[in-house]
Amino acid sequence: EIVLTQSPATLSLSPGERATLSCRASQSVGTYLAWYQQRPGQAPRLLIYDASNRATGIPTRFSGSGSGTDFTLTISSLEPEDFAVYYCQQRTTWPPGATFGQGTRLDIK
């Protein structure tokens, strides 16, 4: 089973700053890596799929990069609504399924 490890666990930044979140896989997942945002009391929202593709309606300040075992989610300039928990997720093609990282909490400094 592939394990996803996210770092840091908590990131404290101010609006307008750049955020860099990391996700490392225990073995290669190619580019089968997605990122989700979860605000308090809400369901997760898909931000990025296949490592670097923005989902429909996602602002351009969100970008993803990486392949193999190391991936990064970058938020270029933080807006107040971006302070939330972020999860990475890898998908398996057969049998279908998914594994999530433990999450990174992005707090207002």
Task: Point out which residues bind another protein (CB under 8 A).
Answer: 34, 36, 42-46, 49-50, 55-56, 87, 89, 91-93, 95-103
Q: Which of 67/102 has CB closer to another protein?
A: 102
Element (H, E) at 52: none
Shortest Å distance, C-beta 108 to another protein: 20
Shortest Å distance, C-beta 5 to another protein: 12
Element (H, E) at 104: strand 104-108
Q: Which of 17/23 has CB closer to another protein?
A: 23
Long-range contacts of 45-49 (CB under 8 A, 24+ apart): 47/73, 47/86, 48/73
Shortest Å distance, C-beta 15 to another protein: 26
Q: Where are the beta strands (DSSP E) in 8-84?
A: 10-13, 19-25, 33-38, 45-49, 53-54, 62-67, 70-75
Q: Which of 68/103 has CB closer to another protein?
A: 103
Shortest Å distance, C-beta 25 to another protein: 15
